[in-house]
């Protein structure tokens, strides 16, 4: 129903993470029914945030919320569905949508950077009122400059995670073999990483380099987790070992990303040989 799509647009305005995740799940309900026209239905996701954006255009502190819903949720799902229809490859659709989030994440900081920094300052001020002794800790104070640098990534990473979860659920609802243990990115994905490496040599672009790189690492991290899950699934089930491995995975997400990057080239699970790229 169009009303649900309108409601999800409102949800994304309040919370882009949950909004994107639910939009991806809901999209499956009309993707098969509206053959050739699911994108038209998905456009309804944009109605509420666009209206809010019109009324808040002159107020950046409020404008950021509908703009996030438009470019960080609604258009992401629309691009995902469009690419899925045109290419017929879910992973390609996922990559296109994730790149849109990454690009918008950088633009978002330049558009609303002052507001985001002020919000961070207010958060630290509130924490100082609530926990004055803890805020006197030098380590916490030293975290502030790092958090300022990573502000774009703090948003883009969470959105790409929501997109990835929605992608897997979307395929699962369609009966596609889409278990996390078989998640596989194409070899060309590593070229995006190579493309951003030159930014490191320009000091004025270090912040862009770090934040884009972190966003691009999310999908390989998901693949790295899939590699570990695939390895565990081949062994005799043991609840204790599974719990231990899960904890180790969650505590070593950067290593999961490195495993994912390596798997893109080396194909540890031999999925290319099996012809399973979902």
* Whole-Å CA distances, 104 to 72, 112, 118, 162, 188: 7, 12, 20, 15, 21
Residue 50, pLDDT above cutoff 90: yes
What mean pLDDT is predicted for residues 112-125? Answer: 82
End-to-end CA distance of the chain: 29
* Whole-Å CA distances, 90 to 3, 97, 195, 240, 260: 27, 11, 23, 34, 18
Residue 277, pLDDT above cutoff 80: no
Distance from chain centroid for Cα 4: 23
Per-residue pLDDT band for 87 (boundaries 50, 70, 90) equals confident
Per-residue pLDDT band for 55 (boundaries 50, 70, 90) equals very high
Report pTM. 0.87
Residue 53 DSSP SS3: helix
pLDDT digits (tens, 9 = 90+) for 157-193: 999 999 999 999 998 887 766 578 888 999 899 899 8
Q: Domain map of the chain by residue range?
A: 1-178, 191-278
Cα distance between residue 160 and residue 254, in whole Å? 16
Residue 194, pLDDT above cutoff 60: yes
The pLDDT value given to residue 3: 86
Per-residue pLDDT band for 1 (boundaries 50, 70, 90) equals low
Longest dimension (CA), the chain: 61
């Amino acid at each position: 129903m169009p009303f649900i799509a309108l409601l999800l647009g409102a949800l994304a305005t309040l919370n882009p993470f949950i909004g994107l995740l639910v939009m991806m799940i809901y999209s499956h309900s009309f993707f098969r029914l509206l053959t050739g026209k699911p994108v038209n239905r998905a456009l309804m996701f944009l109605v509420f945030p666009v209206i809010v954006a019109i009324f808040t255009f002159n107020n950046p502190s409020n404008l950021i919320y509908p703009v996030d819903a438009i470019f960080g949720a609604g258009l992401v799902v629309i691009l995902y569905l469009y690419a899925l229809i045109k290419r017929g490859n879910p992973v390609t659709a996922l990559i296109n949508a994730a790149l849109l989030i990454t690009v918008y994440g950088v633009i978002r900081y330049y558009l609303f950077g002052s507001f985001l920094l002020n919000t961070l300052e207010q958060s630290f001020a509130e924490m100082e009122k609530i926990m004055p002794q803890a805020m006197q800790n030098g380590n916490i104070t030293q975290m502030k400059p790092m958090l300022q640098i990573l502000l774009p990534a703090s948003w883009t990473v969470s959105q790409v995670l929501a997109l990835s979860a929605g992608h897997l659920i979307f395929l699962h609802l369609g009966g596609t073999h889409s278990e996390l243990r078989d998640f596989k990115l194409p070899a060309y994905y590593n070229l995006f990483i190579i493309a951003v490496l030159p930014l490191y040599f320009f000091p004025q672009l270090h912040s862009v380099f770090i934040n884009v790189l972190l966003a691009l690492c999310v999908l390989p991290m998901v693949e790295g987790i899939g590699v570990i899950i695939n390895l565990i699934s081949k062994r005799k089930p043991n609840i204790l070992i599974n719990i231990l491995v899960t904890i180790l995975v969650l505590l070593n997400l950067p290593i999961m990303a490195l495993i994912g990057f390596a798997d893109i080239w080396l194909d540890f699970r031999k999925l290319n040989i099996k012809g399973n790229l979902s």
